[in-house]
Amino acid sequence: MSQKVRVAILGATGAVGTELLELLASRQFPLASLKLLASERSAGKTLDFRGESLLIEAVNERSFQDVDIVLASAGGSTSKAWAKTIVESGATMIDNSSAFRMNPEVPLVVPEINPDSVDNHRGIIANPNCTTILLGVAIWPLHQVQAIERVVVSTYQSASGAGARAMEEVKEQAQAILDNRQPPTNSFPYPLAFNLFPHNTPINGQGYCEEEMKMVNETRKIFACPELRVSATCVRVPVLRAHSESVNLEFSQPFSVVKAREILQSAPGVKLVEDWDANYFPMPIDATGRDEVLVGRIRQDISHPNGLELWLCGDQIRKGAALNAVQIAELLVKKNLVGSRLATV
């Protein structure tokens, strides 16, 4: 990449923000400049980047002048509040929140699946939900060979999905329980340490929570399959930063397990992890810090002749958020598409 890009990270002090910093450095992103933005309470602090201490600035109306790409990871309300300013400044916002994902004018992008959807962006590109990204990377290669008709997925979601503070709270809860004290519940409605519970987002009239509907609607949009049948059950589990998913796929005709394994062995963004003799398959502890989505335990569904089952794990902060955003930024540079196109926000 010969083009040098001026980048700002909005929400630089959060779990995803600090991961973005690490990825920009390790992937040698072609930076002309880097600006770290956060709330007033973080202004004046510093973060290390390539051996230098970068000052964190409080975001304001002038923050996005002379910026080409804004990597936004400060939550939906913050993204909505600053989107118009960012776009009108001439920058492209790659947004990690859910604020614009289902906006028909905003591309929802997983580079391994629909990279060309960035071509018509109008200043905002949405990063999908973490569970949707991990699922899509794993099943898209199979869908390309034989169209998937139905997806049933159960997620086992780590604390990192609720942010850095939630991760620390799980540690505090574990210690409190071991000490026979009442565990704190500030980030979650219930203790997560030594426990699990269905995802605590609002539930609709059909009994599906918001997190589950994100998987349904976002997968359909990314796959450009509005009629794809998807059912999700999302569960919080006491893991720090890697999500797991149990996936059942239904096709119109049988799909060979051997063929599926061959496809996933060479699929971009996927690492096949299977040792049947040792009963060793993807685990969150192995996925933590990895770029790839670990996939394994691929088997025939004994209840349906056209069904396949698989298990996956992926780092929620990395591929589920920060890495996917940086990959989108790399796409923009490669395609010479940096800059806004005046979206309606």
Q: What CATH code is carried by the domain that includes residue 24?
A: 3.40.50.720
Establish if 190 belongs to a structural domain. Answer: no
Per-residue pLDDT of the chain (345 residues; tens, 9 = 90+): 468 999 999 999 999 999 999 999 999 999 999 999 999 988 999 999 999 999 999 999 999 999 999 999 999 999 999 999 999 999 999 999 999 999 999 999 999 999 999 998 999 999 999 999 999 999 999 999 999 999 999 999 999 999 999 999 999 999 999 999 999 999 999 999 999 999 999 999 999 999 999 999 999 999 999 999 999 999 999 999 999 999 999 999 999 999 999 999 999 999 999 999 999 999 999 999 999 999 999 999 999 999 999 999 999 999 999 999 999 999 999 999 986 655 555
Residue 16 labeled ligand binder:
yes
Establish if 270 belongs to a structural domain. Answer: yes
Burial of 339 (0-12, 13-18, 19+ CB in 10 A): middle
Residue 157 labeled ligand binder:
yes
CATH number of domain containing 275: 3.30.360.10
* Same domain as 230, residue 106: no
* Same domain as 204, residue 330: no
The total number of structural domains in the chain stands at 2
DSSP-assigned letter for residue 97: S
* Same domain as 234, residue 207: yes
Closest CA to 108 of 242, 240, 225: 225
* Same domain as 212, residue 64: no
C-alpha–C-alpha distance, residues 317 and 160, integer Å: 7
* Same domain as 70, residue 40: yes
Q: What residue has token string 């997620």? A: 155
Sign of the dihedral through C-alpha 24, 25, 26, 30: positive
Residue 105 main-chain phi, psi, to 5 deg: -85, -5
Residue 42 labeled ligand binder:
yes
Reported for 37-41, long-range contacts at CB under 8 A and 24+ positions apart, including other chains, are 37/8, 37/9, 37/10, 37/11, 37/12, 37/63, 38/10, 38/11, 38/12, 38/13, 38/74, 39/74
* Same domain as 105, residue 89: yes
* Same domain as 89, residue 141: no
Residue 236 labeled ligand binder:
yes
* Same domain as 107, residue 70: yes
Domain with 295 in it? 132-158+196-314
Closest CA to 56 of 10, 16, 19, 89: 10
Establish if 103 belongs to a structural domain. Answer: yes
* Same domain as 270, residue 214: yes
Is residue 130 annotated as a catalytic residue, yes or no? Answer: yes
Residue 256 labeled ligand binder:
no
C-alpha–C-alpha distance, residues 153 and 249, integer Å: 9
Catalytic residue among 121, 199, 243, 313: 243
Two structure tokens written together for 268: 């971009």
* Same domain as 276, residue 141: yes
Establish if 11 belongs to a structural domain. Answer: yes
C-alpha–C-alpha distance, residues 126 and 325, integer Å: 9
pTM: 0.96
* Same domain as 137, residue 105: no
Establish if 182 belongs to a structural domain. Answer: no
Catalytic residue among 121, 130, 143, 199: 130
Residue 138 labeled ligand binder:
no
Residue 160 labeled ligand binder:
yes
If residue 251 lies in a helix (H) or strand (E), which one and from where to where? strand 242-251
Establish if 200 belongs to a structural domain. Answer: yes
